[in-house]
């Protein structure tokens, strides 16, 4: 890796291959090595841009797999252990030599995925969320995460987001990249808003995509465990297990509001109009639509 390919963005982030990583957590050499990461046919990847419902879907997917196992006491494993990150190495965990099926979470762009994900047509679930809610969620997230610079104010956050000076870089590049290359992958697209609208339907969709035939009671159980309220009180699912030096819980919670349209409480009209214009230009022709307000979902 030529060091010139690395661009330091701030005290916490660096850009590499058009993508933005947390400086302390990832080495460019490791990202390079992922191209040849050995993929098994039964692997499953959940891919998202941050703040789009990753933990929510991680929880659902892992529960769908756990529900097939013989009855056992509920595991105390955290979300990171049940579905580890591909790009963030867990010091206490060997993510490669786990028994199949291996479940992985990733925020990577489509072009940084291991080649085997395409070659073997393994299952990828991609969840995206309307970017205004992503932005506001990230704004609060940046305040509680020790490894992210706290934005000066929301204007500053908006600039960073539009310029891609946030983890994973540009939201537009991420979402457009995955949708434009959809034919290269065996992929299920979901939106956060459709999960909010009908969680059960989303769980059934995920379960069918994963080739599971679960009875109605099992699906109901997964849905119940995946509600915002239940996840908020489930330490293994809500990131409360993260130490204080990683996440400062006094400044806020990881499971914050869990709704659609909270951006309206933060964006000014001018900021919203500016963002809409960029959204219209960049998302032209993409086969995805977002709901921007909870009332759209309730009325539908």
Q: How far is the CB of 38 from ligand A3P (least distance, A)?
A: 27
Residues 85, 30 contacting (CB under 8 angstroms) = no
**Residue with Cβ nearer ligand A3P (6 or 146):** 146
Q: How far apart are CA 126 and CA 6, in angstroms?
A: 27
107 is known as an active-site residue: yes
Out of 30, 65, 228, 279, name the contact with ligand A3P by CB under 6 A: 228
Tokens of 272: 């919203």
Interacting residues with ligand A3P between 23 and 52 (CB under 6 A): 48, 50-52
Answer yes or no whether residue 207 interacts with ligand A3P by CB under 6 A. no
Residues 132, 271 contacting (CB under 8 angstroms) = no
**Residue with Cβ nearer ligand A3P (88 or 228):** 228
**Residue with Cβ nearer ligand A3P (120 or 232):** 232
**Binding span for ligand A3P by CB under 6 A among 24-32, 146-154, 169-177, 220-228:** 220-228
**Residue with Cβ nearer ligand A3P (176 or 231):** 231
Q: How far apart are CA 258 and CA 133, in angstroms?
A: 10
Q: Binding string to ligand A3P for residues 235 to 264, with x set by CB under 6 A, is what? A: --------------------xxxx---x--
Phi first, then psi, for residue 110 (nearest 5°) are -60, -35
Tokens of 164: 């891609």
**Residue with Cβ nearer ligand A3P (19 or 56):** 56
Q: Are strands 7-8 and 19-22 parallel, antiparallel or unpaired?
A: unpaired
Q: How far apart are CA 141 and CA 247, in angstroms?
A: 9
Q: How far is the CB of 270 from ligand A3P (least distance, A)?
A: 22
Among candidate residues 85, 88, 100, 92, the one with its CA nearest the CA of residue 46: 85
Q: How far is the CB of 254 from ligand A3P (least distance, A)?
A: 7
**Binding span for ligand A3P by CB under 6 A among 54-62, 150-158, 242-250, 277-285:** 54-62
124 burial (CB, 10 Å; 0-12 / 13-18 / 19+) is buried
Q: How far apart are CA 197 and CA 292, in angstroms?
A: 12
Q: How far is the CB of 233 from ligand A3P (least distance, A)?
A: 11
Q: How far is the CB of 26 from ligand A3P (least distance, A)?
A: 17
Interacting residues with ligand A3P between 100 and 159 (CB under 6 A): 133, 137, 140
For residue 189, what is the enclosing H or E element?
A: strand 186-191
Tokens of 252: 């806020």
- Annotated catalytic sites, by residue? 107
Q: Which residues of this chain interact with ligand A3P, rule CB under 6 A?
A: 48, 50-56, 133, 137, 140, 226-228, 231, 255-258, 262
């Amino acid at each position: 890796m030529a060091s010139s390919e690395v661009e330091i963005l701030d005290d916490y982030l660096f850009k590499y291959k058009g993508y933005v990583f947390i400086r302390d957590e990832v080495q460019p050499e490791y990202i390079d090595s992922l191209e040849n990461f050995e993929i098994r046919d039964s692997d499953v990847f959940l891919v998202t841009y941050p703040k789009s419902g990753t933990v929510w879907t991680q929880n659902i997917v892992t529960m769908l797999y756990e529900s097939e196992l013989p009855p056992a006491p509920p595991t105390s494993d955290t979300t990171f252990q049940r579905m580890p990150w591909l790009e963030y190495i867990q010091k206490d965990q060997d993510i490669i030599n786990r028994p199949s099926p291996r479940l992985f979470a990733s925020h990577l762009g489509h072009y940084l995925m291991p080649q085997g994900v395409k070659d073997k047509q393994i299952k990828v679930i991609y969840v995206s969320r309307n970017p205004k809610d992503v932005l506001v969620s990230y704004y609060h997230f940046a305040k509680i995460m020790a490894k992210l610079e706290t934005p000066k104010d929301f204007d500053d956050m908006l600039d960073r987001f539009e310029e891609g000076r946030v983890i994973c870089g540009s939201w537009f590049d991420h979402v457009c990249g995955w949708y434009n290359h959809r034919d290269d992958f065996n992929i299920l697209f979901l939106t956060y808003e459709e999960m909010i609208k009908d969680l059960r339907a989303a769980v059934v969709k995920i379960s069918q995509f994963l080739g599971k035939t679960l009875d109605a009671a099992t699906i109901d159980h997964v849905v119940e465990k995946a509600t915002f309220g239940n996840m908020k009180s489930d330490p293994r699912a809500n990131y409360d297990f993260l130490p204080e030096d990683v996440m400062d819980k006094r400044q806020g919670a990881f499971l914050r509001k869990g709704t659609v349209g909270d951006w309206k409480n933060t964006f000014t009209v001018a900021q919203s109009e500016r963002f809409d214009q960029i959204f219209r230009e960049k998302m032209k022709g993409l086969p995805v639509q977002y709901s921007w307000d909870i009332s759209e979902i309730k009325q539908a």
